Structures are given as C-alpha cells and as structure tokens.
Amino acid sequence: MTSNTTEQGVKEKISFQLTSEIIRHRLKSEGARFHANDNVSDYIFPGELETLQEEVELRVKDLLKSLLIDIDNDHNSQDTAKRVARMYLNEVFKGRYHKQPNVTDFPNARNLDEIYTLGPISVRSACSHHLVPIIGDCWIGIKPGDKVIGISKFARVADWVFSRPHIQEEAVMILADEIERLCEPKGLAILVKAKHFCMCWRGVKEPDTSMINSIVRGDFRHDPSLKQEFFELVKQQPSALTCN
C-alpha cells in the first residue's frame, strides 16, 4: 500500500467516526468529567455542534422505531427526531453544549455590604434519572464583596446552569460555584423550590409535591442572623415556601 492510499484510508476512517466519539475522546484524553450536569462546550470545536445534532437525530429516530412508532407514516412523528435533537442541544440542555453567557463584573465602588435578595427567578431543568422536567423558582441572596454583577445576569447564569439534566441538590451547588466565581461575594444564599415531573407525571403521581433546598456560604453560613434575614426576605415573596 502506498503512503497515499494509507492516508486515504485513515481519512475515510476518520470521516466515519461519530462526532460524539471524537468529542468523547477529547474529553477523556484531557481527563475532563462529562457527567449529565457538566458543561462540555470547551471540547466542542466549531462546526461540531451541527454534526452532533445530526447524530442525535439519528439516535432519536432509532429510539422512536424501537418504541414501534411508525415514523414513516405517522405525520405527527415524522420530524420528531429532528425536533428532539434540536431541543436537547440548543434549548433544554443548552447549558451543557453552549458556553456561559457573558457576564461583566464591576467594582463595588460604594462598598455596599448590605444583603440583597433576588427572585423568583424561574428555573427549568430535567432529572438525570428519567429526563423529565423539573420546573421551579430560585431565590438568591448576596452579601457583596469587591465585585458586583448586574441583576439580570443572575437569571442568565441560573438558566444556563439549570439547562442540563440534574438532580436538584447538585444544580444548586453548581449555581453557587458559578456565582462565587463570577462576583466573589462575602456571602451567598440560594434557595430553590421546584416541582419534579418525575413525581407528578410518573412514579408516585403526586402532583402537589415540591422540593425545596438551599445552600448558604460565606457570611450567610457563619452568621445565623444573616441566614435568618435571607429566609425572612424570601418568605415575603409571592409563591415562596408555599405549596401553590
């Protein structure tokens, strides 16, 4: 075999490699974690998201076929695979495949050190176990440090973090890590109240159950009165800590 034909063979082999295999190889060789709630955008090169979407579409088609849905003749299901692939990669799980929205920080010029709370910020996710929706509200309490970020940025970052398959407890921790990284607050408190479709659509079918969890860091953790103040402020908000 000449070197040209060998090269040709290698190229053909590469061209038949699935995009997910190429990206997975990159992740593994860098030792990067790629659990359901991790962002992998740094490992997706330009143009690959489009071919990954095509690959996912083919896989969803196979899933529909295995579910014995006649995708060739059922007019409602003909484009479902395409829609689902687009929805996963660019909408409901965009927080895995797309980079974090740009967040500019500003110096805390007036040395504000009073706590403030934001919320409710609506959050939408899906459980890692069944990929069915988790929909809820999030409240964030901040005791500023040397940097501040615009209020709307918290909602953008929360949306980005939650738009991945999750379990709620880990989603709140990841959001806290991101906010700490972005504005290095002296204190941070986050509370999430969410409805899990895992519980109301399937399983025990309890439509009214919500899960509430919270995380407190920095001054909120060390100072019980500050923590109390955050929960009091959140309680005053409509829909918080009630079962509606």
Please identify, using beta-carbon distances, which residue of 67 and 204 lies nearer to Zn ion: 204
Residues 151-180 that bind Zn ion (CB under 5 A): none
Q: Taking a C-beta distance cutoff of 8 angstroms, is the pair 102, 170 a contact?
A: no
Centre a 10 Å sphere on the Cβ of residue 208 and count the other Cβ atoms it contains. 9
Question: Could you give the CA distance from residue 55 to residue 57 in angstroms, rounded to a whole number?
Answer: 5
The residues near 238 (Cβ < 8 Å, ≥ 6 apart) are 120
Torsion (CA) 150, 152, 153, 157 in degrees, nearest 10:
160
| Shortest CB 174 distance to Zn ion, Å | 18
Stretch that binds Zn ion, among 2-10, 84-92, 116-124, 194-202 (CB under 5 A): 194-202
Output phi, psi for 50, to 5 deg: -65, -45
- Count of chain residues binding Zn ion (CB under 5 A): 4
The β-bridge partners of 125 are: 134
Q: Does 127 bind Zn ion (CB under 5 A)?
A: yes
Q: Does 198 bind Zn ion (CB under 5 A)?
A: yes
Please identify, using beta-carbon distances, which residue of 118 and 198 lies nearer to Zn ion: 198
| Shortest CB 165 distance to Zn ion, Å | 9
Stretch that binds Zn ion, among 117-125, 126-134, 148-156, 162-170 (CB under 5 A): 126-134
Please identify, using beta-carbon distances, which residue of 128 and 237 lies nearer to Zn ion: 128
Please identify, using beta-carbon distances, which residue of 182 and 211 lies nearer to Zn ion: 211
Q: Which helix (H) or strand (E) holds 192?
A: strand 187-196
Q: Does 134 bind Zn ion (CB under 5 A)?
A: no
Question: Could you give the CA distance from residue 163 to residue 156 in angstroms, rounded to a whole number?
Answer: 11
Q: At what angle do helices 48-66 and 80-87 cross, to 10 degrees?
A: 130
Please identify, using beta-carbon distances, which residue of 23 and 127 lies nearer to Zn ion: 127
Centre a 10 Å sphere on the Cβ of residue 192 and count the other Cβ atoms it contains. 28
Q: Does 130 bind Zn ion (CB under 5 A)?
A: yes
Q: Does 129 bind Zn ion (CB under 5 A)?
A: yes
Q: Does 202 bind Zn ion (CB under 5 A)?
A: no
| Shortest CB 56 distance to Zn ion, Å | 20
Please identify, using beta-carbon distances, which residue of 139 and 162 lies nearer to Zn ion: 162
| Shortest CB 33 distance to Zn ion, Å | 21
Q: Taking a C-beta distance cutoff of 8 angstroms, is the pair 156, 175 a contact?
A: no
Within the chain, what is the greatest distance between any pair of CA atoms? Answer: 77
Please identify, using beta-carbon distances, which residue of 109 and 204 lies nearer to Zn ion: 204
| Shortest CB 195 distance to Zn ion, Å | 12
Q: Taking a C-beta distance cutoff of 8 angstroms, is the pair 178, 158 a contact?
A: no
List of residues contacting Zn ion (CB under 5 A): 127, 129-130, 198
